[in-house]
Every structure is written in C-alpha cells, then in structure tokens.
Amino acid sequence: MKQKLIAALTVVLAGFFAAPAWSQPEAPGVARLTDLVVRTLPVGDIFQVFLDKDPNWPLADKVNRVSTEQFTCLRQRLSKPGFLDQRSAAAAAFAKRYPEAVEPSISVLEGGGAEVFSAAIGAGLTEARSGNKSDYGSVAERFSPLQMSAFVELVGDPKHKALRELIGIDDVLSLGAGKEENAARGRAKGELIAIKLMFAAMDHCKVPLAAIR
C-alpha cells in the first residue's frame, strides 16, 4: 500500500511540474500586472510589425547563417506572444520579490500611467518614422488630470523604482529635464531595450554572434 501511494504521488507531482507555466498557480495580480506592463511599453507590438513585414527579419540577408530551427526560435522569441511570455515570467518574479508592490503598481498603471506612457511612445515612433516632430502637448491633452498625475507618479516616484525596472524604462525620464533632453534619453533607452532583447533572444535560441556580423 505504501509503495502504491508513493508511486501515485510521484505521478501527480511529475504531472504538476511538467505542466505549462500558465497552468500552475501564480501570485495574485500577476496576469493583470503583466497585461499593464506590456501595454505600457509595447515592444512586442513594435517587433511584430517588423516580423509581419519582412519574413527574414531580424537577420535580413544573414538568415542563411543559422539553422531553420534557430531562425524560427528567434522570430518566435521576438514576436508579440514571445514578448508576452517573457514579461509574464518577469512579472511573476517581481510579485515574488516585491509582493507588497503588486497592488500599488497595478493601481498607478491602471490610473493612467500605462496609457499615457504608451501614448508618448506612440508619438515618438510616429516622429521617428515621419521625421516630423510630434506635439507631445496635444498628446497630454487627451488625458485627464488624474491620468497625468498617475503618469508623473509612475516616472518620478521613488517607490515605483522596481516597477520602472520591470517595465524596462528605469529612470529614463526626468521631470526636471526639458523636452529635447527627455526625447534624446528616450531614444537612447529604446535602442538599448531593443538591443538587449535581441541579444537575449539570440542567447535563448543559441544563435552565435557571428550570425549578425
């Protein structure tokens, strides 16, 4: 009887740990936090545009330097679903390390932080594509004072430092800096985020650096 119980328990545990991460219990609020983080800095959406436009992105004419499996893995990792998976894992780690910060983080993002920051990112992308300066003042006018207050809290309050790190923006914006300085810092941070994600995807998919030289 004892041996049968042990065998049964082994099967149950094996099934649990073999199950996909999404089927296992997660800390309260992780799914909502993940959604808000992705909405705040929609890198997956941006990469997905390149993926949809170019079947050889991100390797272009160097695609023949990697195997089909490596290339497929790389594109999946950089896709919108792939980015969501990565942010979900990061949000779960955040909730485990800072359980007391989950609700305040959700609150400031839902209160307007996510929507305003995302709109600013969209204006920046439009400016980069068109070459014409975006009117960030008109972007701000689309939101209520409470939403703008949440945005200011998100980018400037020390208590949200860990949340900013989770999103990937760190302290990229300074409330005391001018528009040009913040724009330059934003562009530099955007490039850094893209490069880091690319290298992380290459490492995950075992794509050597020689493939992009």
Domain-located, residue 19: no
Q: What is the pLDDT of residues 116-169, one digit of tens each?
A: 999 988 877 777 677 777 777 788 889 999 999 999 999 999 999 999 999 998
Contact 83/38 with Cβ under 8 angstroms?
yes
pLDDT band at 1 (very low <50, low <70, confident <90, very high): very low
Structural domain contains residue 144: yes
Q: Position of tokens 């989950």?
A: 102
Q: How many CA atoms lie within 13 A of 182 on its CB side?
A: 16
Rounded to the nearest integer, the mean pLDDT of the chain is 84
* pLDDT given at position 101: 97
Q: Which residue has the higher pLDDT, 19 or 70?
A: 70
33: in domain:
yes
Q: Is 168 within a domain?
A: yes
Which tens digits make up the pLDDT trace of 74-101?
Answer: 999 999 999 999 999 999 999 999 999 9
Whose tokens are 């490069």? That residue is 195
DSSP 74-133: HHHHTSHHHHHHHHHHHHHHHHHH-GGGHHHHHHHIIIIIHHHHHHHHHHHHHHHHH-SP
Q: Are 204 and 77 in contact (CB under 8 A)?
A: yes
For 126, the domain range is: 29-212
Residue among 120, 135, 105 nearest 189 (CA): 120
Q: Give backbone dihedrals phi and psi of 49, rounded to 5 degrees, phi first.
A: -60, -45
Closest by CA position to 57, among listed 208, 206, 201: 201
Asked if residue 68 has pLDDT above 60, the reply is: yes
Asked, for residue 9, whether it belongs to a domain, the answer is no
pLDDT at site 71: 97
Report the Cα 126 to chain-centroid distance in Å. 20
Domain tally, the chain? 1
Confidence of residue 15 (pLDDT cuts 50, 70, 90): very low
Q: Is residue 202 part of a domain?
A: yes
User: Does some domain include residue 5?
Assistant: no
C-alpha closest to that of 113 among 77, 166, 149, 138: 149
pLDDT computed for residue 132 by the predictor: 76
Does a structural domain hold residue 51?
A: yes
